[in-house]
Chains A and B, each alone.
Chain A
Amino acid sequence: MDRETVERVARAAHIKLTEAELEAYSRDLNEILSYFELLDEAPGCDDYGVNPIDVCDVLRDDEPRMEIDPDLLLKDMNTYEGYVRGPRLS
């Protein structure tokens, strides 16, 4: 994993890295990914899922309900006239 790749990954992850961080993470990630090459030797299988146990969908009746008062949620948010404030889009 070269420096340019680390920079590209950091941009995708919305992380700004200093020069010192770029250096350190390039070194660390190379060491870690080298160790991960062990996975190439591991046996594979076809019948795998994304959870360690079988899970099922749980549906509820399609009835409107309000478990948490929106005013409570807004209380600690940075808001303006009831809207959450965020950065400009462009």
Chain B
Amino acid sequence: MSIDMTMERMRAINDRYLMFHAMAESVDTDAGFTFSAKDNLTSKDMETCAGSKILIGYKPVFDATSIARMREEGGFLMGKTNMDEFGFGTFSTNSGLEVPRNPHDVERACGGSSGGSACAAAVFEDHVSLGVSTGGSICCPASFCGVYGMAPTYGRVSRYGLIDYGNSLDKIGILSAKAGDLRRYINVMAGKDPKDPTSCVQPELKNEERSMKSVAVPKEGIEGLSKDVESAFNNALEDLKRMGIDVEYVDMPSLRFAMPAYYVLATSEASTNLARYVGMRYGQQEGDLSLKFDDYFSSFRSEYFGDEAKRRILLGTYTRMAGFRDRYYAKALQVRKVVIDDYKRILADHDAVLAPTMPFTAPRFDDISKMSALDSYKADYLTIPANIAGTPHMSVPCGYGSDGMPIGMQFVADHWDENVLFTMAEDWEKEFDLRRPEVTI
């Protein structure tokens, strides 16, 4: 296969949609396939900033394992995709750098935090993009941009070379307009890597076709939906029934506790991870060295961290402080276990748990600017439970709203059972008429 792409066209497309923060210097037309990667995965030939001003100028000397394995498979890394700063967001608007535009309507967000990846997957032909999910950062943008997106089981893909957000939550996965790419490229990236011990307990990834027989729809997962999402989801359920899949409504009471538990865990972990950014060793290093130790760090961090990064650092620092730790952090860990147990209970009788991916279609940028921080956090309530549980999950396009914007539904399977999701995506693709955005460049 030869790559039918020129740098001129790549730049023109990027000028319109802003999916890339950094791009390759030339096109490798002999590569086997093209891919892009979220900019929190280190790449040795491109600047890596994770959407943050504090990392401008950081040129890693090594590839993340996921990128290295894609290159070994013959992939050409086209670019590094824009994202919310360190993954802190639902719309990719919390970026210190560029904000990607939805290819179905450039006045709307791509979703977050792997927004640039979803945009690239939707726009480029025969292209796959690596995303990273902590609380829904693959499925949300996949839903908003109308592509397939999968976050595998926590630990399935090595996190070596990933700029950490929440170590117990981060998962590297795939976004593509083609369902078959999920199986193909998760297989490329999966497997044990001694550089990430959490990847070393995984059982072998199964690949024989395993069709889905039944799904459970939690009643708590179909509350608070927009009319468009509700309608598209109900139509999709009818399609699933026609495909011979049983649909059963179930109770999953733990879902309402997952969102606060997630934000406690994620911000606790993030606030410790971000302690390393002090204006030394990498990225921005141009602070006033005549300042005292504490003043130097504080000045530097205050200048270069964005608004949401500061908010999450403050929140995570607070919930870990003496006197509050048991109330917040320890309780959040318990809730995670309760959510996992709830999934296991339901998945003992069903192949997957199913709900819409997001409660609404991609919002306009001017509407996002009116949302409070808590409003944004609440928008993640459907994607968070699977992420806190570390279970594999996948968003597939399932309809379009009255505004023409894509709508997705999210399947959640048991730990290490990606195979049933791969097969579901492949079966669904035969039934669903995917609309690609019109790219006239």
A17 to B317, CA, bound (A): 15
A sample of 17 inter-chain contacts (CB < 8 A) reads A6-B314, A29-B314, A31-B374, A36-B328, A38-B257, A39-B332, A44-B334, A44-B338, A49-B337, A53-B154, A55-B197, A57-B197, A85-B280, A88-B289, A88-B293, A90-B292, A90-B293
B192-235 Cβ-contact flags toward A at 8 Å (1 or 0): 00100110110000000000000000000000000000000000
- Most chain B CB within a 10 A radius of its CB, from A25, A72, A78: A78
A42 to B332, CA, bound (A): 9
For residue B313, CB closer than 8 A to chain A, the reply is yes
Instruction: Contact check, B197 vs A58: say whether CB atoms are below 8 A apart.
Output: yes
Least Cβ–Cβ distance between B278 and chain A, in angstroms: 8
Instruction: Contact check, A39 vs B260: say whether CB atoms are below 8 A apart.
Output: yes
Least Cβ–Cβ distance between A32 and chain B, in angstroms: 5
Instruction: Contact check, A76 vs B59: say whether CB atoms are below 8 A apart.
Output: yes
Q: Which residues of A contact B428 (CB under 8 A)?
A: none
Least Cβ–Cβ distance between B154 and chain A, in angstroms: 5
For residue B436, CB closer than 8 A to chain A, the reply is no
Q: Which residues of A contact B373 (CB under 8 A)?
A: 28, 31-32
For residue B367, CB closer than 8 A to chain A, the reply is no
Q: Which residues of B contact A66 (CB under 8 A)?
A: none
For residue B35, CB closer than 8 A to chain A, the reply is no
SS class, residues of chain B in contact with chain A: helix
Given A13-B271, A25-B314, 13 further pairs, Cβ under 8 A:
A1-B318, A5-B318, A9-B318, A13-B314, A39-B331, A42-B261, A48-B337, A52-B168, A53-B198, A56-B201, A86-B296, A87-B293, A88-B289
Complex interface residues of chain A between 33 and 90 (CB less than 8 A to chain B) = 33, 35-36, 38-45, 47-58, 60, 67-69, 72-73, 75-78, 84-90
B373 and chain A: residue at smallest CB distance: A28
- Among B112-120, B298-306, B405-413, the stretch that binds chain A is B298-306
Least Cβ–Cβ distance between B419 and chain A, in angstroms: 17
A71 and chain B: residue at smallest CB distance: B61
Instruction: Contact check, A55 vs B331: say whether CB atoms are below 8 A apart.
Output: no
5 pairs of A and B residues whose beta carbons are closest in the complex: A52-B390, A87-B296, A42-B257, A48-B337, A58-B197
Instruction: Contact check, A54 vs B377: say whether CB atoms are below 8 A apart.
Output: no
Interface size range of chain B in the complex: 35 or more
B169 and chain A: residue at smallest CB distance: A52
Instruction: Contact check, A55 vs B198: say whether CB atoms are below 8 A apart.
Output: yes
A32 to B377, CA, bound (A): 9
Q: Which residues of B contact A1 (CB under 8 A)?
A: 318
Least Cβ–Cβ distance between B163 and chain A, in angstroms: 16
For residue B282, CB closer than 8 A to chain A, the reply is yes
Q: Which residues of B contact A6 (CB under 8 A)?
A: 314
For residue B92, CB closer than 8 A to chain A, the reply is no
Instruction: Contact check, B153 vs A53: say whether CB atoms are below 8 A apart.
Output: yes
SS class, residues of chain A in contact with chain B: loop
Instruction: Contact check, A39 vs B328: say whether CB atoms are below 8 A apart.
Output: yes
A17 to B302, CA, bound (A): 7
Given A21-B310, A29-B315, A39-B331, A53:B415 Cβ within 8 A: yes
A75 to B169, CA, bound (A): 32
Q: Which residues of B contact A72 (CB under 8 A)?
A: 61
Q: Which residues of A contact B294 (CB under 8 A)?
A: 14
Complex interface residues of chain A between 1 and 30 (CB less than 8 A to chain B) = 1, 5-6, 9-10, 12-17, 21, 25, 28-29
For residue B237, CB closer than 8 A to chain A, the reply is no
A42 and chain B: residue at smallest CB distance: B257
Least Cβ–Cβ distance between A24 and chain B, in angstroms: 8
Q: Which residues of B contact A84 (CB under 8 A)?
A: 280-281
Q: Which residues of B contact A28 (CB under 8 A)?
A: 311, 372-374
A14 to B261, CA, bound (A): 25
Instruction: Contact check, B390 vs A53: say whether CB atoms are below 8 A apart.
Output: yes
Q: Which residues of A contact B256 (CB under 8 A)?
A: 38
- Most chain A CB within a 10 A radius of its CB, from B58, B254, B281: B281
Instruction: Contact check, A56 vs B313: say whether CB atoms are below 8 A apart.
Output: no
Given A12-B317, A51-B168, A68-B61, A29:B311 Cβ within 8 A: yes
For residue B62, CB closer than 8 A to chain A, the reply is yes
Instruction: Contact check, A39 vs B200: say whether CB atoms are below 8 A apart.
Output: no
A29 to B307, CA, bound (A): 13
